[in-house]
Structure 1
Amino acid sequence: MTTNNLEHLLPTGWKEQVAFWLKEDTPSFDYGGYVVGESEQVAILYGKAPGVLAGVPFFNEVFRQVDCRVEWFVQEGAEFDPGASGRKEIARVYGPARKLLLGERPALNMLARASGIATRSRRLAQLKEKHGWKGIIAGTRKTTPGFRIVEKYAMLVGGVDTHRVDLSSMIMLKDNHIWSTGSITNAVSAARRTGGFALKIEVECRSEDEAHEAIQAGADIIMLDNFTGEEIGPAATRIKQKWEGKKSFLIEGSGGLTEQNVTTYFAPDIDILSFGSLSQSVPHIDFSLKVVPVKTPQK
């Protein structure tokens, strides 16, 4: 049976990362928590800018670890808009006042960034569909140290490919690998000996000649790096025509891609477009968490 619950993809240690966020934010005494005490309260999570909600499992876990409960009114992956009021009720969190405040900032920081990444991812996915391009939109490994699992998760929520998650996921040979080994052929040969049949090999190429050398050496994916939108389509066509019926490979475009110029890269012989901007310089989605005092019935 299949499921749309992306939480099932998360590795076994992800909750330890959430515990670290809480430890980082409260390394010693919780002075403000002492002030508000243990009274049971409700906090409303508001979305204050349009976006795609992402990061629900991490948000839930933050508050689970501080003994609070979350009730959601917007599903993960859904688009929301605060409208004229300037705020949209997304969820409610129930628990002791000081514990709501313990979880507030780590949860909001995570949700803002994850939703920002998912929002940009969704826009790129929609551009792809609008223009009828059949290739793959993907992220890159340009992620925040210690926060990669959230950022890659958010890309999936937004509807794009994560690309490789880490150095162990695929063998990507870039300019430094090639310079260190002397040639593309040497680098691919060494990679194949160690990676075996199970790992694909991708080679960063700055010219069509380098692409041909990589294909001849046995690369599975050819990355045409820093080609313009006008250059990359014709180059990909020439490369595929030369090797038609001889070698099987994918062509990826990368370097300098943005929402503004991506449509110029939507060429039929490009299989993948990867964006560092999916996880770098992404505007966050603004959220706030406001405690609503629980009224005690008068006797």
Structure 2
Amino acid sequence: MSPETHRDCYEYLLPPSWKTQVTTWMAEDTPSFDYGGFVVGEDQKTAFLLGKGKQTAVLAGKPFFTEVFEQIGCHVEWHMHEGETFEPVKHVATVTGKVRHILLGERVALNMLARCSGIATKSKNIKDQARSYGYKGIIAGTRKTTPGFRLVEKYGMLVGGIDPHRHDLSSMIMLKDNHIWSSGSITAAINQARKVGGFSLLLEVEVGSEEEADEAIDAGADIVMLDNMEGDQLVEVTRRLREKWNGKRKFLFESSGNITETNLSERAINDIDILSTSAVHQSVQHIDFSLKIQKQ
């Protein structure tokens, strides 16, 4: 399989249930009568999907967009690969079908594509920025996703070239401050989690100080999240701990908390293995798309 062909294979990652999510979106958008559809009728029409706005953008969300229209009997022909960047205005795809069906799927498909592409674009931009600083580690999103829309948001991160991080509470064991306080200590929380998590799940612990990080490493954490630690403190703590535990424990350091483009240079240090940020999906700028029916 060529690299170009593989770019359109992200759909292979999607679970069997993903098409039912599209059905749910359509049911939400037209719960009873389609009054506008009654007005326009069923003439066969062609519509151009145009990528607009003022910025270079990444296209993401093709399978979802296509499925919206396939469920209502329309056909989508794409003129770009998934993950490809474009300059506005770009003719991205062509949709053909009954005019009332095109308009029936228009808003659902555009809303999804705008957000998914926005997340992919922001993800790529932050990763590219980190690499320009010489950072070689992992850029990841977070689980601060939209209920009911998580699959699309995580998909957008992947298309944008970053790690989507854990998808849900079952994906990885993550012990945060509330888990630790409720358990009594970091060590107690880790020991309890190991009893039920088995060998196949990584265990990550959120810490707020060097002492807590030390305890987490000693208790066997696979990943230590240095939450809201930055600047000289972040550098000094990671280097001291790596030196102390060199050859004794294997673990990764993750830095999280308020990481944005404006302070990325301070956090993008190669002593940190993972930089996780919700900036790639929370309050992200959507990409402007429109669907224009052509006059015949």
Aligned to 1:25: 29
2:75 and 2:236 map into 1 onto residues whose CA distance is: 55
- Return the TM-score normalized by structure 1: 0.95
Unpaired segments of 5 or more residues in structure 1? none
The 5 A counterparts of 1:132-281 are 132-281=134-283
Aligned 8 A contact 1:233 1:268 in 2: no
Say which SS state the counterpart of residue 282 (structure 1) adopts.
Answer: coil
Cα displacement (A) at 1:125 = 1.5
Q: Which digits, 9 at most, give the CA deviation of each residue in 1:63-97, with x for residues without a partner?
A: 00011011111221111111xxxx22111100000
Which letter maps to 1:120?
K
Aligned residue pairs total: 290
Aligned 8 A contact 1:46 1:288 in 2: yes
1:156 and 1:229 map into 2 onto residues whose CA distance is: 28
Cα displacement (A) at 1:110 = 0.2
Unpaired segments of 5 or more residues in structure 2? none
Cα displacement (A) at 1:286 = 0.7
Which letter maps to 2:225?
M
Among residues 89, 103, 106, which one is paired with 2:105 in the alignment? 103
Aligned to 2:93: 91
- Return the TM-score normalized by structure 2: 0.96
For the aligned residue pairs, the C-alpha RMSD in angstroms reads 1.1
Among residues 78, 84, 98, which one is paired with 1:78 in the alignment? 84
Aligned 8 A contact 1:116 1:284 in 2: yes
Cα displacement (A) at 1:196 = 1.0
- Once the two structures are aligned, what percentage of the paired residues are identical? 60
Cα displacement (A) at 1:181 = 0.5
1:9 and 1:155 map into 2 onto residues whose CA distance is: 13
1:43 and 1:214 map into 2 onto residues whose CA distance is: 56
- Residue 15 (1) aligns with residue 14 (2): no
Name which of structure 1's ranges 265-274 and 125-134 shifts more when overlaid on structure 2. 125-134
2:206 and 2:177 map into 1 onto residues whose CA distance is: 7
Which letter maps to 1:21?
W
2:268 and 2:261 map into 1 onto residues whose CA distance is: 12
The 5 A counterparts of 1:37-56 are 37-49=41-53, 50=55, 51-56=57-62
Aligned 8 A contact 1:229 1:264 in 2: yes
Aligned 8 A contact 1:47 1:89 in 2: yes
